[in-house]
Amino acid sequence: MSVVLVINSGSSSIKYRLLEMDGEHTLAAGLIERIGASGSVLTHRGESRDSDQEQSIERDVPDHSEGFALMLEAFGRFGPSLESKPPVAVGHRVVHGGQRFFEPTLVTEAVKRDIEELGELAPLHNAANLQGIVAAENAFPDVPHVVVFDTAFHRTLPPEAYSYAIDATVAARHRIRRYGFHGTSHKYVSEAAAAFLGRPLEQLRQIVFHLGNGASACAVSGGRSVETSMGLTPLEGLVMGTRSGDLDPAIVFHLHRRLGAGFDELDELLNRRSGLLGLSGHADMRDVQSAADAGHAASALALQVYAHRIRSYLGAYLVHLGGLDVVCFTAGVGEHAARVRELAMAGLEHLGIVLDRERNALPGGGLRRISAEGSAVEVLVVPTDEEVEIARQTLGLVAPA
């Protein structure tokens, strides 16, 4: 039995999942929220009593170490027992690997120092990821710990895709280039799409749209990332829940001159008060759609801007790929917002993309085809599973086949 524990640690949360890799079956999963604040709560879905019911523990959790202690308590109370199903390894999500990490990597003291230092490029993410790694090592000291980087899948970007047209010396000195993110998701989804279609991955030209609160597009040629929308940071690219995505960089200078806005204030504006929230007043796509249906003009415009940006990237990536075989939608919005998919794919029949509106509108989940019969380009909804992908890469490193 090969059991892997996957950890996704945020600044105030720990998301975890215990997987039996023979069949990739979830043994338990949970989430600890509000770490470092009052009202902390753990929700756990395990094996005891009714496995379809979440169990919860409410207790203040001052830090990540206490969070892992609470997680271990949940396994003991709700199951499964980690003594009967001990993990052979712990896999960790880390957002930014810079130009140092392109493969799953065993945790060492040097690796932890590098992750901390790379936090300059992802201050909201890497520090929290590292907190989880340190706490998990204390909780599981006798098994290997492996980090899987969001940026790693994009290591295959060609220079013309990852280079920004600024002073090359400045760029090199300050590590300014396109790194791309959501790589674990893009890898999982593109491989799942090929398996669903029964076609060799290396023969497919795919565009994957990971549309969640954060959103990114990726052009995947033969299983390799060749273009992606996020850049030095996760701010660039598509419209997101609270992030602006692409904009004229001179807007920053303009706001500084007009309002005297400092860098922290501008960072707050573009990362936390823009995107769907900035356009409509709502960060959640479900709320945007409901408001648009109720006649809220700003929300209707937000939907159009959101879809327009998707279509712009689709057109560009189709050219870069030299043709297109598959379009995939994934993550919360991509998997569940049929209206967004319809707006993004409307009127593209001349490109061989024909959406079946009835298939697209059907409720339910799972991997499914939403393109029409005879569409030259397959359009799929592919639920992402970043935890399974992290577990696969973790096990592949510590126990290669």
Distance CA 257, CA 90 (A): 49
Other Cβ atoms closer than 10 A to 201: 17
CB 186 within 8 A of CB 218: yes
**Residue 191 near residue 388, CB atoms below 8 Å:** no
State the Cα–Cα distance between residues 64 and 255, nearest whole angstrom: 38
Which entry of 114, 150, 325, 385 is annotated as an active-site residue? 150
- For the CA atoms of 350, 356, 361, 365, the dihedral, rounded to the nearest 10 degrees, stands at -110
Sort 272 into a burial class: Cβ within 10 Å, 0-12 / 13-18 / 19+: middle
- With beta carbons less than 8 A apart as the criterion, state whether 340 and 211 touch: yes
Q: DSSP per residue over 329-389, as a string?
A: EEHHHHHH-HHHHHHHHTT-GGGT--B-HHHHH----SSEE-BPTT-SSEEEE----HHHH
User: What φ, ψ does residue 210 adopt, rounded to 5°?
Assistant: -90, 105
Tokens 């009714």 belong to residue: 50
CB 178 within 8 A of CB 226: no
Residue 60 annotated in active site: no
Catalytic residue list: 150
